[in-house]
Amino acid sequence: MIHEIKDSYKGFNIYGGAAPVETTLLATITDWSPKGTIAYQRRNGLIVELARFQLKSMAFDAESVAACFGLELARLVLDACYRDFAIARYETEKKYIREQRTRGGR
């Protein structure tokens, strides 16, 4: 059973996985739909998730194929929207630093 596939790409962590899709017609058939995540790791080791998706309308017979497809979809999304993810990472870090300074000042 494949849980998730991880890769580093353009300074982000991308993950691909598979979620079970059960269809019942005459019998229960389990297919796999691809899912993906785009995240980054902070200097303190915490992982911050920026986006998560699952394509429920697309199903594969093999879990590993769905997981690989999810990873490649995450890579394509990051390519297409890299600027937006870079800004989101910057804004998230800016907010985090501001909150840390506020807590430390009390």
Q: What is the mean pLDDT of the chain?
A: 91
3-state secondary structure of 44: coil
**Average pLDDT, stretch 14-41?**
88
pTM of the model: 0.86
Give 63's contacts (C-beta < 8 A, 6+ positions apart): 1, 2, 18, 32
Closest to 83 (Cα-Cα) out of 4, 12, 7, 6? 12
- pLDDT at residue 70 above 90? yes
Q: What one-letter code names the amino acid at 42?
A: R
**Total tally of structural domains belonging to the chain:** 1
Per the structure, the complete domain to which residue 89 belongs is given by: 4-105
pLDDT digits (tens, 9 = 90+) for 79-95: 999 999 999 999 999 99
When pLDDT is cut at 50, 70 and 90, the band that residue 105 belongs to is low
Q: CA-CA distance, 50 to 40, in Å (whole number)?
A: 8
Q: Given this model, what pLDDT does residue 104 score?
A: 75
Q: Which helix (H) or strand (E) holds 97?
A: helix 82-105
Q: Given this model, what pLDDT does residue 1 score?
A: 61
**Average pLDDT, stretch 66-72?**
97
